[in-house]
């Protein structure tokens, strides 16, 4: 094992600003948690080596700035990447929905080399202000998987407490080893969801068509239809009476014309 060459994986931490990307990286590197927020400029880089399933793995971790102002600047950092952590804040549903854009950026800017994604719902320690439930997040990734054909691994993390931080990187490493034809047996622990296109739920368009039909009181509509039909029937009767009267009037006119001639 010690003579084996290390396997190098370039992974990116992606997601909106202030979701905790840098804090997650620092926690994984054993650098501790900082309560103050420092905006990442462009991208930051770190390297960390671990042993996974008998293999020496080195992660090159690129922490990308999440603000839109750095969108152009961070494009070049995707190149050569193999995987992305999709990180959102469990206190802000917008950061979850925006992950669709981060998936698109990862694939486009890496020219397709990034194909492995692990999603992290961060700040799980902030229970009282939480806005995104586990079920809501899973449903989002099911829809995204159905749209893109991508398989996602999803779990919740806390950079403050260290919850699932090491597990997240280990799962990422195991997935990447599997992509490199290195056989690894992975048993997903409780709280980790594997979301594949085959297990995905209906697409948003289909879902809307099924759920957007309101409950309607059909009895009221039926009564209105019956009333209209009655009026039409009454109108038919009146038309028939008028036709008979016009017929008699036509006969009288023809008789008058004949007598005049």
Dihedral pair phi/psi, residue 75, rounded to 5°: -55, -45
Give the strands of the sheet with 43-52, arranged side by side.
43-52, 55-64, 7-14, 83-89, 116-122, 152-156, 193-195
Are 90 and 124 within 8 A, CB to CB?
A: yes
- For the entire predicted model, the pTM comes to 0.74
- Dist CA 130 CA 143 (whole Å): 22
Are 48 and 60 within 8 A, CB to CB?
A: no
Question: What is the pLDDT tens value at each position of the chain, 261 positions in all?
Answer: 455 678 999 999 999 999 999 999 999 999 865 555 566 666 788 999 999 999 999 999 999 999 888 888 899 999 999 999 999 999 999 999 999 999 999 999 999 999 999 999 999 999 999 999 999 999 999 999 999 999 999 999 999 999 999 999 999 999 999 998 898 888 899 999 999 998 766 444 333 332 333 444 445 555 555 665 566 556 556 656 666 666 666 667 667 766 665
Residue with structure tokens 């799980």?
124
Angle at which helices 99-109 and 134-148 pack, to 10 degrees?
A: 40
Pairing label, strands 7-14, 152-156: unpaired
């Amino acid at each position: 094992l010690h003579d084996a060459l290390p396997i190098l994986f370039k992974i990116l931490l992606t997601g909106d600003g202030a979701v905790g990307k840098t804090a997650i990286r620092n926690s994984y590197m054993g650098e501790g948690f900082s309560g103050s927020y420092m905006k990442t400029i462009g991208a930051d880089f770190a390297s960390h080596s671990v042993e996974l399933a008998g293999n020496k793995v080195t992660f090159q971790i690129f922490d990308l700035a999440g603000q839109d102002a750095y969108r152009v600047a961070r494009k070049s950092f995707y190149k050569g990447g193999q995987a992305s952590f999709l990180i959102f804040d469990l206190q802000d549903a917008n950061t979850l929905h925006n992950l669709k854009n981060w998936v698109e950026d990862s694939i486009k800017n890496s020219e397709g080399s990034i194909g492995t994604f692990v999603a992290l719902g961060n700040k799980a320690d902030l229970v009282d202000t939480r806005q995104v439930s586990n079920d809501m997040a899973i449903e989002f990734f099911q829809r995204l998987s159905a749209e893109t054909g991508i398989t996602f691994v999803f779990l919740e993390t806390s950079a403050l407490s260290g919850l699932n931080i090491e597990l997240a990187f280990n799962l990422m490493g195991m997935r990447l080893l599997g992509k490199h034809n290195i056989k690894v047996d992975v048993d997903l622990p409780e709280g980790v969801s594997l979301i594949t296109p085959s297990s995905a739920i209906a697409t948003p368009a289909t879902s809307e068509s099924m759920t957007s039909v309101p409950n309607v009181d059909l009895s009221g509509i039926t009564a209105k239809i019956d009333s209209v039909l009655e009026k039409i029937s009454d109108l038919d009767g009146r038309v028939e009476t008028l036709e008979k009267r016009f017929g008699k009037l036509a006969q009288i006119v023809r008789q008058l014309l004949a007598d005049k001639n």
